[in-house]
Amino acid sequence: MNFENILVAVENGIGQITINRPSKLNALNVATIQELHDAFESLESNTDVRVIIITGEGEKAFVAGADISEFANFSIEEGAQLAAQGQELLFDFVENLKKPTIAAVNGFALGGGLELAMACHFRIASDNAKMGLPEVSLGVIPGYGGTQRLPQLIGKGRAMEMIMTAGMVSAEDAFRAGLVNHVVPQAELLDFTKGIATRIMRNSPFAIGRAIKCVNANFKEGINGYETEIRNFGKCFGTEDFKEGTTAFLEKRKAEFKGK
């Protein structure tokens, strides 16, 4: 696939997507959202890829927000459609991927950028990262899942304050709040993230995919997460990964999973 706004690479089982609009601080426009969907979909179906990492080009920004010029003159209906399409095409899509997806947050992650990072399964930040949802300063609210995922990650009170003040938090504050898992020097960000990806790849791809599904179920209205866990726990028993994992344990050797 040829992309104008992103770069995609696969190496040693890791698929890396880099948002490549540094002159716009990697801002998300409609075209970039479509390209990101296509890239994630391609990496999801690529049997050589076990973990996906997304980051931004340059040292300034992961994604500094949405491209405001695209929707400044939208009507009520057009605004609602923009949010609905974006959530379905990218943000919900990423959250529900079967393959672990990690956001390597290098610099600013604002508005849609933070919403994209929050849609990933977890986040690692460079020490110069700044995160926030500044939408209310523009007379609008987060529309790509920010009002839902931020409270899930850091609690209702902290999320309310971040959204209502439109302020940014530092990487360290984000770490203390549980918004990111680790903070590392920017020069080490990708190597550190790939190190965690390598640790993930030692484990069963099938089981990891089912674990993601079960954890997400806890946050979906009308779904019993415990029942989802029971059902998917059972499904693991019919896989080659389960046979390999238990056999390797009994034979006192390292398991070699193929994800079937």
Closest CA to 105 of 117, 93, 97: 117
In terms of domains, do 158 and 245 share one?
no
With respect to residue 157, please indicate whether it lies within any of the assigned structural domains: yes
CA distance 118 to 219: 14
Average model confidence (pLDDT) across the chain: 96
* Token pair of 185 as six digits: 């020097």
Q: What number is the average pLDDT over the span 170-179?
A: 98
Q: What number is the average pLDDT over the span 201-211?
A: 97
In terms of domains, do 72 and 106 share one?
yes
Q: What number is the average pLDDT over the span 14-35?
A: 95
In terms of domains, do 103 and 139 share one?
yes
pLDDT of residue 200: 98
With respect to residue 139, please indicate whether it lies within any of the assigned structural domains: yes
Burial class from Cβ neighbours inside 10 Å (0-12, 13-18, 19+) for residue 227 reads exposed
Q: What number is the average pLDDT over the span 182-193?
A: 98
In terms of domains, do 87 and 28 share one?
yes
Q: Does residue 118 carry a pLDDT above 90?
A: yes
Q: What number is the average pLDDT over the span 14-41?
A: 96
Domain ranges, residue 244: 205-250
Residues across the chain = 260
With respect to residue 259, please indicate whether it lies within any of the assigned structural domains: no
Q: Does residue 258 carry a pLDDT above 90?
A: no
Long-range CB contacts (< 8 A, 24+ apart) of 80-84?
82/143, 83/143, 83/144
Count of domains observed in the chain = 2
With respect to residue 260, please indicate whether it lies within any of the assigned structural domains: no
Q: Which residue has the tokens 């990708």?
A: 190
Q: Does residue 36 carry a pLDDT above 80?
A: yes
pLDDT confidence band for 47 (50 / 70 / 90): very high
pLDDT confidence band for 259 (50 / 70 / 90): low
In terms of domains, do 68 and 185 share one?
yes
CA distance 232 to 237: 9
In terms of domains, do 191 and 214 share one?
no
In terms of domains, do 32 and 160 share one?
yes
In terms of domains, do 224 and 246 share one?
yes
pLDDT digits (tens, 9 = 90+) for 121-150: 999 999 999 999 999 999 999 999 999 999
Sheet with strand 130-132: strands edge to edge: 61-63, 108-110, 130-132, 168-170
Instruction: Cite the active site residues.
Output: 115, 135
With respect to residue 120, please indicate whether it lies within any of the assigned structural domains: yes
Q: Which amino acid is at 186?
A: Q
CA distance 97 to 117: 14
- CATH of residue 60's domain is 3.90.226.10
Q: Does residue 260 carry a pLDDT above 60?
A: no
With respect to residue 176, please indicate whether it lies within any of the assigned structural domains: yes
In terms of domains, do 99 and 209 share one?
no
With respect to residue 142, please indicate whether it lies within any of the assigned structural domains: yes
With respect to residue 257, please indicate whether it lies within any of the assigned structural domains: no
In terms of domains, do 209 and 101 share one?
no
In terms of domains, do 147 and 70 share one?
yes
In terms of domains, do 124 and 223 share one?
no
